Amino acid sequence: MSLFNITAPVTVTCHKRLAVYLEQEITALGFSIEERFVTGVRLQGTLNDCIRLNLNLRCASQVLFRLDQFEARHPDDIYENVLEIGWEDLLPDGGYFSVTSNVLHDTINNNLYANLRVKDAIVDRLRSIRGVRPETGAELRGAVIHLFWKEDEAEVFLDTSGDSLGRHGYRKIPGRAPMLEALAAATVMATAWDGVGPFVNPMCGSGTLAIEAALIATDARPGLFRQNYAFMHLSGYDENRYLDERGTLEKQIKEVPGLRIVATDYSEAAIGNARKNARAAGVEDLITFAICDFADTEIPEGRGAMMMNPEYGERLGTQQELEMTYARIGDFMKQRCKGYHGYVFTGNMELAKKIGLKAKRRIEFYNATIDCRLLEYELYAGSRD
């Protein structure tokens, strides 16, 4: 039986507070979730399933296929158990591999040492069998082995992703304070937007929110923007299986007649960068870009969503200026966005109070290490100024 057809536990990781949206994605693909935890989900699957997961998921970080689970009280236990795994059947001759780890154990104060013990075990086994030392390094350009070691339980995985899936691959120019693409996708998924009505994104910066909205509306998946995954560097990898999956993704892209996505920013440079990123994502024609103050943003007719990610003082802006900006955001929503769902993503709830509207929902997220909220406002319909 091909290695790619063997069923084993698969862990799909994500950033904190994205697991609920990740679970929605995976369930929609037809998989059954066995467990959801803070930073991911667990299911049963094959390496071929991992190909599909890697190409489809918007909110994921890594797709990990478990090889072994064992007790480990000391780094030497890691070495001895990893040495017993049949790496000669997993890693091709002349291949390159890297090791990553997530370690919470009192014998380890530097994950690099844990990585070294795993690497040494793999190298020693392959050299004893093949007579040649395999090439290894820190760059995630080939096969990737991942160690998870917490207390006395250790798991060894094939990381089938390599570089994080959270970066979707189209954004060439990130801007001053970029939102991770996986986070942007999750925030759009968290809204009441139906993917058909207007989506308006003032203060768009590098355009990530508007681009992710366009990709979600047209069912275009992140796998279309990436050419290299760690699963491609495993023994038994069938390129035709990967190409078939890519072909499926290309065929499922749909047109949404009348779709209006509007993205604005006061910065000409930001709009220029956002256009380039949208072009790389293949959605430039779906987004109307404009250089203007956020309060002058076009609000198309219809029941849509208006979403803003203003500065919140952790990295950019000054407090007094931001207080005035948040007050203006409240005025903008009340006066210009009637009939819409309004959303403000912020990591500063004191500034959020200046909006002057009561949030219907406060949805929890993290932006890197910053505790954030996506605030939802229901803006009742009426005549617009």
Q: What's 132's domain CATH number?
A: 3.30.2130.30
Boundaries of domain holding 328: 181-220+253-378
Cα–Cα distance list, 150 to 74, 162, 172, 351 (Å): 12, 22, 36, 39
Q: pLDDT tens-digit profile of 238-268?
A: 999 999 999 999 999 999 999 999 999 999 9
Domain count, the chain: 2
Question: What CATH number is given to the structural domain containing 193?
Answer: 3.40.50.150
> What pLDDT score was predicted for residue 380?
83
**Does one domain contain both 135 and 31?**
yes
Does 54 map to a domain? yes
- Tens-place pLDDT, residues 157-181: 999 999 999 999 998 777 666 799 9
Within this chain, do residues 153 and 196 fall inside the same structural domain, yes or no? no
Q: Show the tokens assigned to 366.
A: 């993290």
Residue with tokens 């797709």, as numbered in its chain: 63
- Specify whether 153 is located in the same domain as 263: no
Within a domain: residue 262?
A: yes
Q: What is the pLDDT of residue 384?
A: 46
In a domain, 53, yes or no: yes
Give residue 111's pLDDT band: very low, low, confident or very high (50, 70, 90): confident
133 and 260 fall within a common domain: no
Residue 114 CB contacts under 8 Å (≥ 6 apart), including other chains: 75, 78, 101, 103, 105, 108, 147, 149
Q: Are residues 145 and 200 in the same domain?
A: no
364 conformational bin, left if phi > 0, alpha if psi -120 to 50, beta if neither: beta
In a domain, 332, yes or no: yes
Nearest to 208 by CA among 44, 367, 378: 367
pLDDT of 317 higher than 60: no
**What are the backbone dihedrals phi and psi of residue 177, each rounded to the nearest 5 degrees, phi first?**
-135, 70
- Which pTM was predicted? 0.94
- Based on the domain organization, do 27 and 105 belong to the same domain? yes
In a domain, 94, yes or no: yes
Helix (H) or strand (E) holding 42: strand 40-45
Domain presence at residue 130: yes
**Whether residues 155 and 187 fall in one domain:** no
Are 103 and 202 in a shared domain? no
Task: Read off the pLDDT of residues 328-385 as tens digits, 9 standing for 90 and up.
Answer: 999 999 999 999 999 999 999 999 999 999 999 999 999 999 999 999 999 987 644 4
297 inside domain: yes
Q: Are residues 26 and 78 in the same domain?
A: yes
Query: Percent of the chain at pLDDT above 70?
Result: 97
In terms of domains, do 136 and 190 share one? no
From 106, 126, 159, give the residue that closes a domain: 159
Residue 234 lies in a domain: no
Both 150 and 289 in a single domain?
no
| Model pLDDT for residues 61-81, shown as the tens digit of each residue | 999 999 999 999 999 999 999
Co-location of 340 and 374 in the same domain: yes
Confidence of residue 1 (pLDDT cuts 50, 70, 90): low
